[in-house]
Chain A
Amino acid sequence: MDFDVISPKTREALLEAMDACQDKKYRFGAGYTDLINDLNANPQEDLTVINLAQLQDDVFSNITEDDSGLHIGALVTAAQVLENEYVQTHFPVLWEAANSVASMQIRQTATLAGNICQASPSGDMSCALVALNAVCDIINTRDEMRIEPLANFFRGVKKTSLAKYEILRSIFIPKNIQYNIKSGYVKIGTRVSMEIAILSVAYHLQVDEKNIIAAAGIAIGAVAPTIKYTQTACEFLIGRSLYEIKDVVLENFSSQVLNYATPISDVRASAWYRTTVLENVTKIIFD
């Protein structure tokens, strides 16, 4: 493995480096938990790695809270997400997803944006963020910013909407509109640790004082080429009482979720298994 490394320390230097690499093959490196494996498996010649590990930029590196919600920098690690009290209190789905990433050692270095930009259909934090209606903050080499809902950001297996001259800077999660939440991440796999989801379900429901669902976000992972936001299933829940979701209503909800699943059979599980377990999981969310 042989590549050039550029280690920008400021945002300006980063954008310059990206600009200078427009005619070359380049990759971003931050936590290196996926990149090194990838380069070992697919050796590339004349590659430049823009190393983000030394970048000093608050937007890239910090978690900040404002009136509208929470901003999480691209370089925030899974371990930092886990330590954040706002995430713990308001977004349990994200906390549980971050806690299920690989192992404790890997979580110390794996970054949020790394998890997202791999665009794996089984990305844990990505799945939780889609359920949370997260929005991407993207900048380009001219320092212009664009925003895009995360669900649209994913375009296929290992494909995102990022252009070569762009970089994901941070993720925004809108504030909860209700105090009461039912929020969690179900990851199906063989091992407790060091596992990649065979399938996953992220749910984030907000209910009012009368237990009426006021907002719902449900995303499913590893059952389609991208993580899917189950729009109609979410809409189906709005306005219903939490206690009403059983029997026929539950069956109906479940089939709404399953409509978004187009699983494949691979070495880890068959399509039958993925579909069956997805159906089973949708039914235990409300237990």
Chain B
Amino acid sequence: MNKNLKIIGKSTPKLDGKERVTGSAVYGHDIDLPNMLHGMILRTKYPCANIISIDTSAAKALEGVACVITAADVDVNMIGYKRDHPILKSNTVNCNRDEIAAVAATSKEIARKALSLIKVEYEVKQGVYDPFEALLEASPTLNERGKGLEQFGNKNMAESFHYEHGDLEAQKARSKVIVTKRYETSRVTHCCLGTSNITASYSKLDGSLTLWASTQVPFLYQRDIAHALKMDASKIRVLQPIIGGGFGSKLDMHPFEPICALLSIQTGKPVQILYDREEEFLASPTRQPMVIDLTTGADAEGRFTFREVKIVLDNGAYTSWGATTPFVMMQTYSSLYQVPACWFQADAVYTNNPFAGSFRGYGNPQATFSIETNIDLMAKELGIGKDEIRLINANYKGEITGQGLHFKTCGAQPALEKVIAESAYKEKINRGDTGRYRRGIGLASMLHVGGGAKIYRSDGCGTRLKLDHYGYLTIITGSNEIGQGSETILAMIAVEELGIPMDKIKVINTDTDVKPWDVGVHASRTSFVAGNSMLGAVKLIKEKLSKEAMKLLSIDAADFDYKDGSMFSSEKEIKIDKVVREMHFGSNELCQVEYFYEPPSSFQDKRFMGDVSGNYAFASQAIEVEVDTVTGNVKVMDVWVSQDVGRVLNPVGLQGQMEGGIATGIGFALTEEMIYAEGKLINPSFHGYKLLTSMDMPTVHFFPIETYDEAGPYGSKGAGEAPLIPTAAAIANAVADAIGVEFFSLPISAEKVLKALATVKENQLV
């Protein structure tokens, strides 16, 4: 692992950087096809109602309207992870984003006007917006297609996960301290700067459908669209324009996408649907709001004994991938730090709220917030340092956790030690400021998959390499780029291994008709899985080049070095383009290879036991905040983050992931919240939804830990989700240190802080 590397480990600008900053990048919103129509969706006026009638006649009669569709006009399947979601709603509407009708018209103005002409008669019903209320016997069945009664014993349960290991009662008995708290996390959303968009073009000539879609998982998406529309998957070609932000929001296929396809199928013309910002807030996915009842214990020395947790997730009206976040959360409860016993139950419950989706971190930020806050409380009760208790229990190399996760490398302890030292944690903790501004510092760690996650039949990725006779390399990869920088990593690997200059490398990754299988961008997997796939393909193309070069140089055996577009063996040198020319025009052989990589991870068994990832990422953050006691505002001053990334591949890209993740984590901790009144979103704008800006960002001090895990390309691990996972927890602990009040619900808004301060003051007066 210590070989001298040429480009790996050196900051390299992103391949799409120039297009992005000069405005020449083509996003989905920029696509304009001949005769293209504009689609728009009529959503429900009420979050919970029966639909008595829908009258589209006036809309259809409007000049410029090409078609209007409702559920009655289409023959489609249910969508969603549990197939419990109609694309267009007919008898009932169950949440405030429900789609009732869609129009395609020659202009956006006409489409908007047409929507206003559709008459829907509703019978308004009382909705259920609290998952605990939904679990009561007396509550109505909230999703008629739900199978909760048969599967989980409650009609409104959409999904349920149970996991346990160790002897819970024995561990409780030997605990010196036991802390029980209820944690609540809010509904937040991704706020992609590029709003949701799709362009669909159906050919009546051959029944093929081309979609310009900003999905993260093109092959699963192709399958989902095919299922929804009852089509052959291979008739559907998915093209990915440059994506203006993913962060998990584009893991599920959403109703607007098959709706757009249906409009194109009906009209035979291309149709485009673009969300405006309000619609984006209203109808794009969110993180799961959760109520987490957590009990944890530790013995007299501060060693953790057990975790017992019951989680209720607000599933919303339909079931998305978001309902499977407990799959990730259980790893955190079972295996973040050494945990002898764990009992985990998580239930996703139907309500009349909008359905949540997947979001960077996938349940882990919520789980980590609860665990890391409880750790501080236990340390306080035991009189042990909050840093010390974490070090005592830190994960270690070689550990096989109660759940069966095998940490072949582990940077947990070094990461903790690094942030404790760099932040001067010991000097800063318990400062006890009393003035207007009060400083506090908090610690939190995290564990996340670093080598993909085996949840689909294949967690693999295919790569094709094509070297042309001018010495240019085309990388055709199954993986895709959604801003995370993985295509740049693939190009860097080519530079490193084949010595081909960066400006002679092309990455093709946007067309399902061309690229090989890959499961998609999720679980921090792309650089790991696609990188390993790339390395496999590089090995094959080197064999090809080497064979031809030996022939040309008349040598029997050689181990070539690749540099500056040439191959070197002892004294001899030959240019790669010459080798390829001889191969093409002499040996009549193409210089192309393909390779498929499947990570060494395994499926978990029915009890969720197993080594689910190729490797695991660890990180710690120390965060210093300043609380303004006049306003209740919490300002994040500095973030020290240390993360086991295996090996740094592209430092500037990694720093970007850190800063972006931390920005999202700070928003989750302090300011972001979708506010609903009886199922209706009342802050669908950046005015009311407080996404922070660059002006609010603290300094991020990043210290990578390199553990050189042999499973990853050059020893690397997945890094994308980790930076936001411990942020809210560390901030909550820092605020508690600053003002002496703990917070168990997010966001820690100025108002909550001020109320807490007022309560403290009152108690002191008494």
- Bound together, the chains give a CA A212 to CA B481 distance in angstroms of 66
A55 interface residue per 8 A CB criterion: no
> How far in angstroms is the closest Cβ of chain B from A225?
19
> How far in angstroms is the closest Cβ of chain B from A64?
33
Kindly list chain A residues whose C-beta atoms are within 8 Å of the C-beta of B430.
none
- Bound together, the chains give a CA A281 to CA B750 distance in angstroms of 14
Kindly list chain A residues whose C-beta atoms are within 8 Å of the C-beta of B629.
280
Interface size class of A (residues with CB under 8 A): 20 to 34
- Picked from B631, B692, B695, the residue with its CB within 8 Å of the CB of A280 is B631
Docked-complex contact B688 and A267, CB < 8 angstroms: yes
- Picked from A103, A270, A280, A284, the residue with its CB within 8 Å of the CB of B751 is A270
- Bound together, the chains give a CA A268 to CA B750 distance in angstroms of 10
B58 interface residue per 8 A CB criterion: no
Kindly list chain B residues whose C-beta atoms are within 8 Å of the C-beta of A262.
none
Q: Contacts A190-B671, A190-B750, A191-B690 given: A276-B758 contact, CB under 8 Å?
A: yes
**Interface 9-residue window, one of B71-79, B161-169, B396-404, B679-687:** B679-687
- Picked from A193, A268, A277, the residue with its CB within 8 Å of the CB of B695 is A193
Docked-complex contact A284 and B754, CB < 8 angstroms: no
Q: Contacts A267-B682, A273-B754 given: A192-B690 contact, CB under 8 Å?
A: no
Q: Contacts A191-B693, A192-B696, A270-B751 given: A280-B682 contact, CB under 8 Å?
A: no
B633 interface residue per 8 A CB criterion: yes
Contact with B along A92-113 (1 / 0, CB 8 A): 0000000000010000000000
Contact with A along B76-110 (1 / 0, CB 8 A): 00000000000000000000000000000000010
Docked-complex contact A273 and B682, CB < 8 angstroms: no
B51 interface residue per 8 A CB criterion: no
- Bound together, the chains give a CA A193 to CA B109 distance in angstroms of 33
- Bound together, the chains give a CA A191 to CA B690 distance in angstroms of 7
- Bound together, the chains give a CA A193 to CA B690 distance in angstroms of 11
> How far in angstroms is the closest Cβ of chain B from A159?
21
Chain B residues numbered 102-140 whose CB sits less than 8 Å from any CB in chain A = 109
Contact with A along B45-73 (1 / 0, CB 8 A): 00000000000000000000000000000
> How far in angstroms is the closest Cβ of chain B from A223?
14
Kindly list chain B residues whose C-beta atoms are within 8 Å of the C-beta of A145.
none
A136 interface residue per 8 A CB criterion: no
Q: Contacts A191-B690, A276-B758 given: A281-B630 contact, CB under 8 Å?
A: yes
Kindly list chain A residues whose C-beta atoms are within 8 Å of the C-beta of B671.
190-191
- Bound together, the chains give a CA A284 to CA B690 distance in angstroms of 26
Kindly list chain B residues whose C-beta atoms are within 8 Å of the C-beta of A280.
629-631
B436 interface residue per 8 A CB criterion: yes
- Bound together, the chains give a CA A269 to CA B633 distance in angstroms of 12
Q: Which residue of A lies closest to B691 (CB)?
A: A191
B382 interface residue per 8 A CB criterion: no
A194 interface residue per 8 A CB criterion: yes
Contact with B along A246-285 (1 / 0, CB 8 A): 0000000000000000000001111001001100110010
> What number of A-B contacts does a CB cutoff of 8 Å give?
51
A196 interface residue per 8 A CB criterion: yes
Docked-complex contact A284 and B630, CB < 8 angstroms: yes
B632 interface residue per 8 A CB criterion: yes
> How far in angstroms is the closest Cβ of chain A from B739?
15
Kindly list chain A residues whose C-beta atoms are within 8 Å of the C-beta of B675.
267
How many chain B residues touch A (Cβ–Cβ < 8 Å)? 24
- Bound together, the chains give a CA A2 to CA B629 distance in angstroms of 48
Q: Contacts A190-B671, A284-B436 given: A277-B632 contact, CB under 8 Å?
A: yes
A139 interface residue per 8 A CB criterion: no
Q: Please indicate which of the listed interface residues B631, B686, B692 has the most CB atoms of chain A within 10 Å of its own CB.
A: B631
> How far in angstroms is the closest Cβ of chain A from B762?
13
Docked-complex contact B696 and A273, CB < 8 angstroms: no
- Bound together, the chains give a CA A2 to CA B690 distance in angstroms of 31
A6 interface residue per 8 A CB criterion: no
- Picked from A2, A103, A194, A273, the residue with its CB within 8 Å of the CB of B750 is A273
Kindly list chain A residues whose C-beta atoms are within 8 Å of the C-beta of B682.
267
- Picked from A267, A269, A270, A287, the residue with its CB within 8 Å of the CB of B683 is A267
Docked-complex contact B696 and A191, CB < 8 angstroms: yes
> How far in angstroms is the closest Cβ of chain A from B555?
63
Docked-complex contact B690 and A277, CB < 8 angstroms: no
Docked-complex contact B693 and A190, CB < 8 angstroms: no
- Bound together, the chains give a CA A281 to CA B629 distance in angstroms of 10
Kindly list chain A residues whose C-beta atoms are within 8 Å of the C-beta of B693.
103, 191-194
Q: Contacts A277-B631, A277-B632, A280-B630 given: A192-B754 contact, CB under 8 Å?
A: no
Q: Which residue of B lies closest to A277 (CB)?
A: B631
Q: Which residue of A lies closest to B752 (CB)?
A: A273
Q: Contacts A267-B675, A280-B631 given: A191-B758 contact, CB under 8 Å?
A: no
A214 interface residue per 8 A CB criterion: no
- Bound together, the chains give a CA A193 to CA B693 distance in angstroms of 7
Chain B residues numbered 679-719 whose CB sits less than 8 Å from any CB in chain A = 682-683, 686-688, 690, 692-693, 695-696
> How far in angstroms is the closest Cβ of chain B from A277?
6
Q: Contacts A190-B750, A267-B683, A270-B751 given: A277-B696 contact, CB under 8 Å?
A: no
Contact with B along A1-30 (1 / 0, CB 8 A): 010000000000000000000000000000
- Bound together, the chains give a CA A124 to CA B269 distance in angstroms of 49
Q: Which residue of B lies closest to A194 (CB)?
A: B693
Q: Which residue of B lies closest to A1 (CB)?
A: B109
Q: Which residue of B lies closest to A40 (CB)?
A: B276
Contact with B along A187-226 (1 / 0, CB 8 A): 0101111101000000000000000000000000000000
- Bound together, the chains give a CA A280 to CA B754 distance in angstroms of 11
Kindly list chain B residues whose C-beta atoms are within 8 Å of the C-beta of A190.
633, 671, 690, 749-750
Kindly list chain A residues whose C-beta atoms are within 8 Å of the C-beta of B751.
269-270, 273
Kindly list chain A residues whose C-beta atoms are within 8 Å of the C-beta of B632.
273, 277
Q: Which residue of A lies closest to B688 (CB)?
A: A267
- Picked from A192, A194, A270, A276, the residue with its CB within 8 Å of the CB of B686 is A194
Kindly list chain B residues whose C-beta atoms are within 8 Å of the C-beta of A287.
436
- Bound together, the chains give a CA A269 to CA B754 distance in angstroms of 12
Kindly list chain A residues whose C-beta atoms are within 8 Å of the C-beta of B688.
267-268
Contact with A along B730-751 (1 / 0, CB 8 A): 0000000000000000000111
Q: Which residue of B lies closest to A199 (CB)?
A: B631
- Bound together, the chains give a CA A143 to CA B356 distance in angstroms of 59
Q: Which residue of A lies closest to B686 (CB)?
A: A194
Q: Which residue of A lies closest to B697 (CB)?
A: A192
- Bound together, the chains give a CA A192 to CA B634 distance in angstroms of 12
- Picked from B436, B630, B631, B692, the residue with its CB within 8 Å of the CB of A191 is B692
> How far in angstroms is the closest Cβ of chain B from A153?
25
Kindly list chain A residues whose C-beta atoms are within 8 Å of the C-beta of B750.
190, 269, 273
Q: Which residue of A lies closest to B278 (CB)?
A: A41
Contact with A along B196-238 (1 / 0, CB 8 A): 0000000000000000000000000000000000000000000
> How far in angstroms is the closest Cβ of chain B from A240?
23
Q: Please indicate which of the listed interface residues A2, A188, A281 has the most CB atoms of chain B within 10 Å of its own CB.
A: A188
Q: Which residue of A lies closest to B673 (CB)?
A: A267
> How far in angstroms is the closest Cβ of chain A from B183?
22
Contact with A along B331-364 (1 / 0, CB 8 A): 0000000000000000000000000000000000
- Bound together, the chains give a CA A284 to CA B688 distance in angstroms of 27
> How far in angstroms is the closest Cβ of chain B from A105?
12
**13 more CB-based (< 8 A) A-B contacts, given A190-B749, A277-B630:** A103-B693, A191-B692, A191-B696, A193-B696, A194-B686, A194-B693, A194-B695, A267-B675, A269-B750, A273-B750, A273-B754, A277-B632, A284-B436
4 nearest A-B residue pairs (beta carbon): A193-B695, A192-B695, A280-B630, A190-B690
A-B contact pairs, 27 of them (CB 8 A): A103-B693, A188-B631, A190-B633, A190-B671, A190-B690, A191-B671, A191-B690, A191-B692, A192-B693, A192-B695, A192-B696, A193-B693, A193-B695, A193-B696, A194-B686, A194-B695, A267-B675, A267-B683, A267-B688, A273-B632, A273-B750, A273-B751, A273-B754, A280-B630, A280-B631, A281-B630, A281-B631
- Residues on A lying within 8 angstroms of B by beta carbon are 2, 103, 188, 190-194, 196, 267-270, 273, 276-277, 280-281, 284, 287
- Residues on B lying within 8 angstroms of A by beta carbon are 109, 436, 629-633, 671, 675, 682-683, 686-688, 690, 692-693, 695-696, 749-751, 754, 758
